[in-house]
């Protein structure tokens, strides 16, 4: 049984706080990962959104290229690619397409469908891709997707620890993600037999 898996990139495949060191240097701040309790970086750093956008416009490509891959993500993605249809679905802007493809290649991640939306709204793309499971780190995205009827695996981060609703399962690693997907396939197969 091949599933259609939609997978976010930033904070999901990447280490969630990869941008922090460069941001602290740039803004002269001293924020630690434990202080990142919301998704909006400008709020975390206590700066204006315009200041953050200037920073991102100057250093966004470098940030994305230097991002580390989450532990076990590469191995699990390759295993999942053998069994399912994978699609990277990211809120990054289209100007980051080349950098994103380069980063995927650098880290030897599966070269699968890449959907760069330029928006955090992912429901429409999930519908188009007939998504069975969406792997995400942003709490608000997880809520929207679950409310639209999608099963979401929310990978744990300091900034997404709000109450979960039906359709969202919190996972703590890529090993957890693999186990959840395997269990989901087993349940679906047993339903068909019954």
- H-state helical runs in the chain: 20-27, 41-45, 49-66, 73-83, 97-106, 123-128, 139-147, 174-193
**pLDDT at position 171:** 98
pLDDT (tens digit per residue) in 55-78: 999 999 999 999 999 999 999 999
Provide the residue range defining the domain that includes 154: 4-15+70-193
Q: Which residues does residue 86 pair with via DSSP β-bridges, in sequence order? A: 5
Question: Is residue 129 over pLDDT 70?
Answer: yes
Instruction: Summarize the confidence of residues 30-50 as an average pLDDT.
Output: 94
- At residue 193, the pLDDT reads 79
The values of phi and psi at residue 188, to 5°, are: -65, -40
At 194 the pLDDT is: 64
**Number of separate domains in the chain:** 2
Residue 58 and residue 89 in one domain: no
Examine the pLDDT at 157 and tell me if it is beyond 80. Answer: yes
Query: Looking at residue 43, what is its pLDDT?
Result: 94
41 lies in the same domain as 82:
no
84 pLDDT above the threshold of 80: yes
pLDDT at position 125 is 98
- Condensed to tens digits (0 to 9), the pLDDT of residues 104-119 reads 999 999 999 999 999 9
pTM of the model: 0.95
- At residue 191, the pLDDT reads 86
Q: How high is the pLDDT of residue 192?
A: 80
- How does DSSP assign 95-145, residue by residue? GGHHHHHHHHHHTT----EEEE-SSS--HHHHHHTT-SEEEE--HHHHHHH
Looking at the fold, whether 104 and 62 belong to one and the same domain comes out as no
The counts of H helices and E strands in the chain are: 8, 6
Considering the domain architecture, whether residues 82 and 158 belong to the same structural domain is answered as yes
Residue 158 and residue 100 in one domain: yes
Question: What's phi and psi for 124, nearest 5 deg?
Answer: -60, -45
**Strands across the sheet with 133-136, in order?**
113-116, 85-90, 4-7, 133-136, 151-155, 168-171
């Amino acid at each position: 049984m091949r599933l259609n898996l939609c997978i976010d990139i930033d904070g999901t495949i990447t280490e969630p706080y990869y941008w922090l060191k460069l941001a602290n240097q740039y803004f002269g701040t001293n924020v630690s990962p434990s202080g990142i309790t919301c998704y909006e970086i400008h709020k975390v750093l206590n700066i204006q959104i315009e200041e953050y956008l200037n920073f991102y416009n100057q250093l966004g490509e470098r940030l994305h290229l230097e991002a580390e891959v989450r532990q076990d993500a590469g191995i699990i993605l390759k295993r999942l690619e053998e069994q399912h249809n994978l699609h990277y679905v990211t809120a990054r802007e289209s100007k980051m397409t080349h950098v994103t493809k380069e980063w995927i290649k650098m880290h030897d991640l599966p070269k699968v469908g890449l959907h760069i939306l330029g928006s955090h709204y992912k429901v429409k793309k999930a519908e188009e891709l007939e998504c069975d499971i969406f792997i995400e780190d942003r709490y608000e995205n997880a809520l929207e997707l679950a409310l639209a009827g999608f099963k979401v695996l929310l990978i744990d981060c300091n900034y997404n620890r709000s109450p979960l609703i039906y359709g969202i399962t919190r996972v703590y690693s890529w090993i957890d993600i693999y186990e959840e997907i395997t269990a989901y396939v087993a349940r679906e197969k047993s339903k068909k037999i019954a």
